[in-house]
Amino acid sequence: MKNIDSISHLRGESVYLDDIPTIDGTLYAAVFDSPIAHGKITKLDISAAEKSEGVVRIFTHKDIKGENQIGGIIPDEVLLAEEIVDFCGMPIVLIIAETDELAKAACRKVICEFSPLEIITDPRIAQQKGKLIIPPRTFQTGNVDDAWKDCAYIFEGRADSNGQEHLYIETQGAYAVPLENGAIKIYSSTQGPTAVQRTGARVLGIPMHQIEIDVTRLGGGFGGKEDQATTWALMCALATQHLRKPVKYALDRMEDMRMTGKRHPYSSDYKIGLSKDLKILAYEATLYQNAGACADLSPAVMERSLFHSTNSYFVPNAKCTAYSCKTNLVPNTAFRGFGGPQGMFVIECAIAKAAETLGIPAAEIQKKNLLCDGDEFLYGQKAESEANECWNKAEEIFELEKMYTDAEDFNQKNTLYKKGVAVMPICFGISFTKTIMNQARALVHIYTDGSVGVSTGAVEMGQGVNTKMLQVACIVFSLAPERIRIHSTNTFRIANTSPSAASATADLNGKATYMACEALLERLKLVAAEELLADPASIKIINEKIYIGDKETDMTWNQLVWFAYMKRVSLSEHAHYATPEINFDPKKEKGHPFAYHVYGTSVFSVTIDCLRGTYTIDSVKAVHDVGKSINFFVDRGQCEGGIVQGIGWMTMEEIVFDKEGKLRSNALSTYKVPDIYSVPKELDIHFHESDRKNLAVLNSKAVGEPPLMYGIGAYFALRNAVRAFNPDVQIPFDAPMTPEKVLMALYSKEKTADKKHGAATLAAAQLKPK
Ligand code: LUZ
Ligand code: MOS
């Protein structure tokens, strides 16, 4: 089935925040944000801004009637600055004017002076100074310290991965409208309607039942709107509360890039020990997460880095420690993969380091260590592994051996172009790592004309979750898709939602939808049995026809629904689903946190231009574990998009903050994201299907985040291509592998162990083709 939004998308009729018709008298917001990364506010003069044309009102933290506090996990984040600013882009003053332009013009008239404080941008320095968001955590299994002595080879090093802009096509934004009795309705471009409602209640000082959040769809979220959409919704709501007027704020691209958090950069140290036959015997890693100025979701992101620190490998002795480091950068946040990619990158670097030193393809080590059924992850859960199946299939259908020999042949024949091949297996745990968040609700109404309306807590953000919800209802009722509508996500219809995140949205909300539809179906069967004088167990409903056993009757779905109504039988059902079996004990750092895992193997082939350092990703092929896919198009779309987004993170997207903590890559002119031309020439995705029972909705495994991690393969394929030109070069593990870094590495003379981090510091004068 096609994505149900495809036609309205194509016609430009789909409704995003900016498509909601505004009410007469709507006012517009803009935020004056901190120009410095750390300091004490010594003077704040808004008098000129107040006199600026079209300005209606200016708000500071003093106007907040509830608490000036928006921290979700830890209460450490204000909506509007009080005495201290601790990152560039921190909101200080909220300006409301008659138009968007006038509000922005007034921002420029705010006078704010600071006495500067020390600026920290490096997570390792933050850690040394004891600036941590939460105490460090360690996940471990076996006994690493004892295991080193049994290792034939030991390698150590450092691995860095940079942040990533979410670059959703629709920027952050909200529209708040006053309702009667002091209530407020907020249209918010959020992945977490309940987060906006809950935090809104706290900031405005009113009960949650006074705040209605409504979301039709987002133009992309990728985690950026899991927590950080709240800020903009509450800016509008704060103004609406005071002015009793509708207020809208849709950030422009530069505001969005400057004031919202990104993927967390990580700096890590690793140590890996292998046996003579390349089994990983021991792995130790220390991860320094750059959290930015406040906690936001960083503790949870850090936790997922630890969960995924051994990727899809069985490591008998492992010890991974992570620090969430407080720096003076915009608070970093959820981003597709949620720390998993960062953790996985480190062990892949360790394996690459070992392979490069031993002079073998990394794939030899990767393949030997894939998780088998029953192997334990370092947090205690036992794997139901598809890792070997996916790898073996990939090896066979993509002719991996031939890909390697073709690249070698090519490299023999060409001096100025080199090819590199790399394999990237993935393993991603499905469920919110915080067990309590794994619950969802659905509300299903059958109307008297036989049409069906479904509401859930799922937010459609382009990922196709509404299409999957519709499919679930279609399957249970045996109705055509036209008979069913998925309605907006609304906190007055569905309460206490978890954000649409963790790849778990379709599973959680789909299971609740399934349960609600099933309950209605059972009820309708009783009505049919009564009307037809038949045994309820013998009633079937197929394609809008009612059957007794295999015998079709004259009764239709529409008639049955009407009979039920006439008998005063409820045609509505609200269901609640909570993932069974999952648990985690943070004291022991052990448990069974995930409903299941998603596996897969991707194979990358790249070509670099050895004069220019530029490159093309020639092909990405993947065997991806879907369980039993209920929607081939949606799932393939997620794989393709995830892979390209992952390649972007690993190759071209380079966030640059200067030493003053100012974002230099602050627009699309200075921050490069993959476009249609950077999509791999060949993108070939095979689904690995399996009959094994899982906790996914209709056995169709979650697909949102896992494919992003295939993109890590691009980084290693590029390294391999560089090493075909400049053998034995020591390239620091420092993603993204931009063309600039490729060029530096091609001509780098660094051949000894990377004591010093950063080949990119090589002087240009040293560049000389060998
Ligand atoms: N959000 C969250 C997530 O709150 N908890 C998670 O475990 C998670 N995982 C992936 C993406 N978002
Ligand atoms: Mo997410 S990173 O699943 O919002």
Give 151-188 pLDDT, tens digit per residue: 999 999 999 999 999 999 999 999 999 999 999 999 99
Whether 368 and 387 have beta carbons less than 8 Å apart is answered as: no
Is the CB–ligand 2 distance for residue 334 below 6 Å? yes
Residue 290, helix vs strand vs coil:
strand
Summarize the confidence of residues 639-667 as an average pLDDT: 98
Measured from the CA of 704, which atom of ligand 2 is nearest? 3
In whole angstroms, give the CA distance from residue 625 to residue 685: 10
Whether 1 and 466 have beta carbons less than 8 Å apart is answered as: no
Neighbouring C-beta atoms of residue 351, cutoff 10 Å: 26
Is the CB–ligand 1 distance for residue 300 below 6 Å? yes
Going by the DSSP 8-state scheme, the letter that residue 214 receives in this structure is E
Residues 6+ apart with CB under 8 A from 508: 438, 439, 440, 457, 458, 498, 577, 579
Measured from the CA of 336, which atom of ligand 1 is nearest? 11
Is the CB–ligand 1 distance for residue 338 below 6 Å? yes
Confidence band of 752 (pLDDT split at 50, 70, 90): low
Give 136-147 pLDDT, tens digit per residue: 999 999 999 999
Summarize the confidence of residues 255-276 as an average pLDDT: 98
Give, using CA atoms, the residue closest to atom 7 of ligand 1: 432
Query: What number of helices (H) and strands (E) belong to the chain?
Result: 19, 30
In whole angstroms, give the CA distance from residue 235 to residue 231: 6
In whole angstroms, give the CA distance from residue 579 to residue 507: 9
Measured from the CA of 504, which atom of ligand 2 is nearest? 3
Is the CB–ligand 2 distance for residue 649 below 6 Å? no
Closest by alpha carbon to 510, among 450, 557, 555, 458? 458
Q: Is the pLDDT of residue 358 over 60?
A: yes
Is the CB–ligand 1 distance for residue 431 below 6 Å? no
338 alpha carbon – ligand 2 mean position (Å): 6
In whole angstroms, give the CA distance from residue 58 to residue 55: 8
Q: Which of 342, 433, 638 to mutate to test the pocket of ligand 1 (most atoms within 8 A of CB)?
A: 433
The 10 Å CB-count burial string (b at 16+, else e) for 45-83 is ebeebeebebbbbbbbbeebebebebbbbeebbbbbbee
Residues 6+ apart with CB under 8 A from 596: 384, 429, 430, 694, 695, 696, 701
Residues 6+ apart with CB under 8 A from 654: 162, 665, 671, 672, 736, 738
The pLDDT score that the predictor gives to residue 755 is 43
Q: Tell me whether residue 640 is one of the annotated catalytic residues.
A: no
Residue 277, helix vs strand vs coil:
coil
| Residue ranges with strand state E in 509-570 | 539-542, 545-548, 551-556
The pLDDT score that the predictor gives to residue 763 is 31
Ligand nearest 500 Cα, by number? 2
Give 580-606 pLDDT, tens digit per residue: 999 999 999 999 999 999 999 999 999
The pLDDT score that the predictor gives to residue 753 is 54
Summarize the confidence of residues 522-543 as an average pLDDT: 98
Mean of per-residue pLDDT scores for the chain: 96
The share of the chain scoring above pLDDT 70, in percent, equals 98
In whole angstroms, give the CA distance from residue 79 to residue 70: 6
Amino acid at 241: Q
For every residue of 71-129, DSSP letters joined together read -SSSS---SS-SSEE-STT-EEEEEEESSHHHHHHHHTT-EEEEEE------HHHHHHT
Whether 510 and 698 have beta carbons less than 8 Å apart is answered as: yes
Closest by alpha carbon to 498, among 517, 512, 516? 512
The pLDDT score that the predictor gives to residue 751 is 82
Give 417-445 pLDDT, tens digit per residue: 999 999 999 999 999 999 999 999 999 99
Q: Which of 338, 461, 505 to mutate to test the pocket of ligand 1 (most atoms within 8 A of CB)?
A: 338
Given 165, 705, 740, 750, the catalytic residue: 705
For every residue of 657-702, DSSP letters joined together read B-TTS-BSS-STTTS----GGGS-SEEEEEEEE-----SSGGGB--
Q: Is the pLDDT of residue 770 over 50?
A: no
Q: Which two tokens stand for residue 648?
A: 């972007």
Q: Is the pLDDT of residue 9 over 50?
A: yes
Measured from the CA of 336, which atom of ligand 2 is nearest? 2
Is the CB–ligand 1 distance for residue 709 below 6 Å? no
Whether 199 and 72 have beta carbons less than 8 Å apart is answered as: yes
In whole angstroms, give the CA distance from residue 368 to residue 760: 33
Q: Which two tokens stand for residue 689?
A: 């299907």
Residue 754, helix vs strand vs coil:
coil
Q: Report CA-CA distances (Å) from 175 to 20, 163, 239, 280, 477.
A: 9, 29, 11, 53, 36
Q: Is the pLDDT of residue 761 over 60?
A: no
The pLDDT score that the predictor gives to residue 750 is 85
Is the CB–ligand 1 distance for residue 708 below 6 Å? no
Measured from the CA of 500, which atom of ligand 2 is nearest? 4
Q: Which two tokens stand for residue 264?
A: 């967390």
Q: Which two tokens stand for residue 257?
A: 């890039």
Pick left, alpha or beta for residue 67 (phi over 0 → left; psi -120 to 50 → alpha; otherwise beta): beta
In whole angstroms, give the CA distance from residue 493 to residue 484: 17
Is the CB–ligand 2 distance for residue 340 below 6 Å? no
Give, using CA atoms, the residue closest to atom 6 of ligand 1: 432
Q: Is the pLDDT of residue 524 over 70?
A: yes
User: What is the phi/psi pair of residue 494, to 5°?
Assistant: -125, 120
Give, using CA atoms, the residue closest to atom 3 of ligand 1: 502
Give, using CA atoms, the residue closest to atom 2 of ligand 1: 432
The pLDDT score that the predictor gives to residue 744 is 97
> For residue 575, what are the β-bridge partners?
442
Give 565-582 pLDDT, tens digit per residue: 999 999 999 999 999 999
The pLDDT score that the predictor gives to residue 765 is 32
In whole angstroms, give the CA distance from residue 130 to residue 136: 11
Instruction: With residue 601 as reference, give the H or E element that holds it.
Output: strand 596-609
Give, using CA atoms, the residue closest to atom 5 of ligand 1: 432
In whole angstroms, give the CA distance from residue 27 to residue 176: 10
Q: Is the pLDDT of residue 757 over 80?
A: no
311 alpha carbon – ligand 2 mean position (Å): 18
In whole angstroms, give the CA distance from residue 611 to residue 767: 11
Measured from the CA of 705, which atom of ligand 2 is nearest? 3
The pLDDT score that the predictor gives to residue 767 is 36
Residues 6+ apart with CB under 8 A from 448: 561, 562, 565, 571
